[in-house]
Structure 1
Amino acid sequence: MLGVPSPPPFLDSSTTGQNMLNGINYASASGGILDDSGRHFGDRHSMSRQIQNFERTLNQYRTMMNATTLNQFLAKSIVIVVTGNNDYINNYLLPGFYGTSRNYTAPQFANLLLNTFARQLLALQSLGLRRFFLAGIGPLGCIPNQRARGLAPSGRCVDSVNQMVGTYNGGLRSLVEQLNRDHSDSIFVYGNTYNVFGDILNHPTAYGKILS
C-alpha cells in the first residue's frame, strides 16, 4: 500500500547497496523489548540488538550518500515497530523459564517494558529517524498459545492476559503522547492493534470466507 516492495531481511546476504534503499526488515522471531525475552528458543535479535543492526546499516548508507542527503533520507523514512508480544508470551507468561512474573506485578512489568522501549525509541531518534508507527499489542489472551493453557472456559479468551495487555497498551498510548509533546521535530503514531484483532474476532464474517 505504500508503493514499495516488501523490505528484505537485515541478515539476507543480498541486503546491501541499492537493495537497502527501499527499507530493511530488522524483525526477529521471538525477540522482544527485553534482551532476555525468547532466550529459551536460542539466538534471536532483541529490540536493542535490532537498533545495533540499524547502526550497521547507517555505516553502509554513509558510503553511498553525503551527510545532508542521508539526514533527509532518514527524516523521511517511516519506522514501523511491532514489538512487546514476545515479552509476554515468551517471558512473563512462562514462569517455568523466566522469573519476571515473580519479580514484577503485571503493572510493574508493563512499566519496565515501556521505560525500556522509550529509551530504545529515543536511541533511534538520536540516529536521525523522525517518523514512528508504534503498534500496540493484540489480544494475546485469545491466541491458541494462551487458550490451550486451560485458564478460561472452552472457546473463551483468557481475560487476565488481555487485562495485562490493556495495561501495556494504555501506557504506550500515553508514551506516544509524551514523545510528541517532548519532540516536536518528530511524529509518533500509536497503532491500536488490540481493537483491530478484537473486531476480527467479534465480526469474522466481515473479513471474508476464510475467517467466517
Structure 2
Amino acid sequence: MGILLFVFRLFLVIKGIYGAPEVNQPRPFFVFGDSLVDNGNNNFLITPARADIFPYSIDSPSKLPTGRFFNGLNIPDIISSVFPCFFYTYMPCEHIGSEPVLPFLSLELHEEKLPLGANFASAGVGILNDTGFQFGEIIAMPLQLEYFKVYQQKLSSLVGEEKAKDIVNRALVLVSLGGNDFVNNYYLVPFSTRSLQYTLPEYVIYLVSEYRKILMKMYEMGVRRAILLGSRPLGCAPAEIAQHNELSGECSTDLQAAAELFEPQVDQMVKNLNAELGTEVFISASTRLMYFDMMNNPQAYGFVTSKSACCGQGAYNGLDFCNAYSNLCENRDELVFWDAFHPSERACRLIVEKIVNGTDDYMRPMNLTTIMYLDSRV
C-alpha cells in the first residue's frame, strides 16, 4: 500500500506541474485500411470479404455480427473506447475518450456523429489498387481518400470550413495497409503478375514508394497525426501455416521474408517523410514485433496456442472464412488468433497496450501516451 500511495502522489505532482491530456473532450478519430480495422463498411458492398455472419462478433455486447472480422472489438475500437488502462502504472485513464467511430457507409453516420470521425477501411484492400481484385466491390485506397474528401465536405456544411479543418487537424488517424499486398497479390497464386514483374526486394521498394504517396495525400488533406500499423508476421497466420507447413506447423518462410523486408523500409520512409515535413506526423507501430511477443511465448500472455485459430476449418482452423459451420473454440481469450488471419479481441487489447505505452522498439518515434500528452499542450 505504501508503494501505491507513493505512485498516486507522484501522479498528482506530475499532473499538477505538467498538466494532463484533455480526455473529457472526445478526440476525432479516422481509420483507413484493410480488414484489421474495417468495422462494417464491407457490409454495404457486393463482396465475399464480409464478416456479417455468425459467429463473427460473438463476444460483442449484442452477440450479433457487426462486420468486424473479430470475435469482439478490434484495434480501433479499443483505441477509441473509454476503458481502464494505467497511466504511470496504477491510475485509470482513457485512450481517446470517444465511442468507436462509425463506418463511413453507415446510415447512422449523421450530423451528430460526424464530428467524432469516421472509419473508411475496407477488408481486402492494400496499398496497390489491384490488391484484392478477387473480392470484387471493395473500397480501394483512392476511393477511401475520396470518401474522406466527401466527409470533409459534409463536415464543413455542418460546422463551417474553419471548424471542419480544425477537427481534421486535431484528429488521430489509424492506418493498416501492406499485408494484403503480399497475401492477396504478390503471393496470391504461383507466378502471379506482380511476382513476374518484380523480385521481392523490388516489390517492397515499389510498395513503400506507393505507400508514401498515400501518406502525402493524407497530409495534404489535413492529417497531422497518424499511427501506421505494421505488416504483422504474415507467414504465421493459421491460414498460411495450414497452406504451406501443415505437418511442421512452421510459419511460411516466403511471407515472413516479405514482412521482414517491408516493415523496416516503411520505418525509414516514415522517418524521412517526417524530416521532410518538419514534424512527426506519422508514427510507425511495429505490430509484427507485438505479435511475435505473443507467438514466441503464448503462455506468458495467458494463451494456450498461437498457431490455431478459434474459428475455422481444417488444419489449425486455417482454411476458409469463419462461418456457422466452422469449428468454434469455447474460450476465445486462450487463442492469439480468432480466425485464419485476424487476432482475437484479447490479442488486440495486448497490441493496443503496446501502442499506448510501448517503448521505441514498438512505437517510433513515440507511443500513444506521448502523442496524447504532446497534442494536449498545443
Q: Which TM-score applies when normalising by structure 2? A: 0.54
Residue 138 of structure 1, CA deviation:
0.3
Matched with 2:225 is 131
Unaligned runs of 5+ in 2: 1-94, 304-333, 337-378
Residue 98 of structure 1, CA deviation:
4.0
Q: What number of residue pairs does the alignment pair up? A: 212
Tell me, what secondary structure is at the counterpart of 2:116? coil
Distance, in Å, in 2 between the alignment partners of 1:27 and 1:124 is 14
Which of 118, 129, 142 aligns to 2:212? It is 118
Matched with 1:78 is 172
Instruction: After the TM superposition, list the runs of 4 or more consecutive aligned residues in structure 1 that deviate by more than 3 angstroms.
Output: none
- Specify the code of the residue in structure 2 equivalent to 1:17: E
Within a 5 Å distance, the mapping from 1:179-198 to structure 2 comes to 179-198=273-292
Distance, in Å, in 2 between the alignment partners of 1:194 and 1:18 is 37
Query: Does the 8 Å contact 2:115/2:167 carry over to 1?
Result: no
Residue 109 of structure 1, CA deviation:
1.1
Q: Which is helix-richer, 1 or 2?
A: 1
For 1:182-206, what per-residue CA distance to the aligned partner results, in whole angstroms no more than 9, with x for missing partners? 1124521100010000011012123
Query: Does the 8 Å contact 1:33/1:48 carry over to 2?
Result: no
Which of 38, 46, 59 aligns to 2:140? It is 46
Which of 328, 335, 339 aligns to 1:211? It is 335
Which of 100, 109, 119 aligns to 1:15? It is 109
Distance, in Å, in 2 between the alignment partners of 1:13 and 1:98 is 38
Distance, in Å, in 2 between the alignment partners of 1:57 and 1:128 is 12
Distance, in Å, in 2 between the alignment partners of 1:17 and 1:109 is 42
| Fraction of identical pairs, as percent | 29
Distance, in Å, in 1 between the alignment partners of 2:218 and 2:157 is 20
Query: Does the 8 Å contact 1:61/1:70 carry over to 2?
Result: yes
Matched with 1:104 is 198
Query: Does the 8 Å contact 1:141/1:160 carry over to 2?
Result: yes
Matched with 1:168 is 262
- Specify the code of the residue in structure 1 equivalent to 2:285: G
Tell me, what secondary structure is at the counterpart of 2:283? strand
Query: Are residue 3 (structure 1) and residue 97 (structure 2) matched?
Result: yes
Residue 68 of structure 1, CA deviation:
2.3
Which of 232, 244, 253 aligns to 1:150? It is 244
Matched with 2:271 is 177
- Specify the code of the residue in structure 1 equivalent to 2:262: Y
Which of 120, 123, 129 aligns to 1:26? It is 120
Moved more, 63-72 or 86-95: 63-72
Query: Does the 8 Å contact 1:33/1:116 carry over to 2?
Result: yes
Residue 42 of structure 1, CA deviation:
1.1
Query: Does the 8 Å contact 1:133/1:191 carry over to 2?
Result: yes
Tell me, what secondary structure is at the counterpart of 1:94? coil
Query: Does the 8 Å contact 1:91/1:97 carry over to 2?
Result: no
Matched with 1:36 is 130
Aligned-residue CA RMSD in angstroms? 1.8
- Specify the code of the residue in structure 2 equivalent to 1:89: V
Moved more, 149-158 or 199-208: 149-158
Query: Does the 8 Å contact 2:156/2:163 carry over to 1?
Result: no
Distance, in Å, in 1 between the alignment partners of 2:115 and 2:191 is 40
- Specify the code of the residue in structure 2 equivalent to 1:122: M
Larger Rg, first or second structure (1 or 2): 2
Distance, in Å, in 1 between the alignment partners of 2:297 and 2:116 is 35
Residue 159 of structure 1, CA deviation:
2.1
Query: Are residue 68 (structure 1) and residue 162 (structure 2) matched?
Result: yes
Distance, in Å, in 2 between the alignment partners of 1:144 and 1:55 is 37
- Specify the code of the residue in structure 2 equivalent to 1:164: A
Unaligned runs of 5+ in 1: none
Q: Which TM-score applies when normalising by structure 1? A: 0.93
- Specify the code of the residue in structure 1 equivalent to 2:251: C
Tell me, what secondary structure is at the counterpart of 1:148? helix
Tell me, what secondary structure is at the counterpart of 2:130? coil
